């Protein structure tokens, strides 16, 4: 199986604008932003998507949300931000490596789809 673009970024085979990195994840700026702030929070442990995550992934999944809050505080996103996880082709999942979108600095609409 070939590496996803995210695994290639994690392995430094492809460059990306990194906002945060720790032992469990990397946070990069999306190259096709859908908001003035559009970051991707990507676990270093490859998980294809939420629907195939297991109980052993619980710690890393929780870590992604905590990092989202940490990065939002760092970037002064007090007015609000949205977190999105796409799962499967009907949800516009484009890379089979779970990631959390953090979108901010524009008014979000509801419903989101």
SS3 15: coil
Token duo for residue 67 = 């990092």
Backbone angles phi, psi at 9, to 5 degrees: -70, -45
Q: Which of 38, 97, 99, 101 is catalytic?
A: 99
Give catalytic status of residue 99 as yes or no: yes
> How far apart (Å, rounded) are the C-alpha atoms in residues 89 and 57?
22
- Active site amino acids: 99
């Amino acid at each position: 199986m070939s590496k996803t673009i995210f695994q290639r970024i994690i392995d430094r085979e492809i460059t990306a604008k990194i906002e945060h990195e720790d032992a469990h994840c990397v946070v990069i700026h999306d190259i096709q932003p859908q908001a003035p702030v559009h970051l991707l929070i990507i676990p270093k442990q490859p998980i294809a998507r939420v629907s195939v995550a297991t109980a052993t992934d619980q710690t890393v999944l929780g870590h992604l949300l905590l990092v989202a809050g940490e990065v939002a505080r760092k970037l002064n996103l007090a007015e609000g931000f949205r977190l999105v996880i796409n799962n499967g082709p009907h949800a516009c999942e484009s890379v089979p490596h779970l990631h959390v979108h953090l979108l901010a600095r524009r008014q979000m609409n509801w419903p989101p789809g």
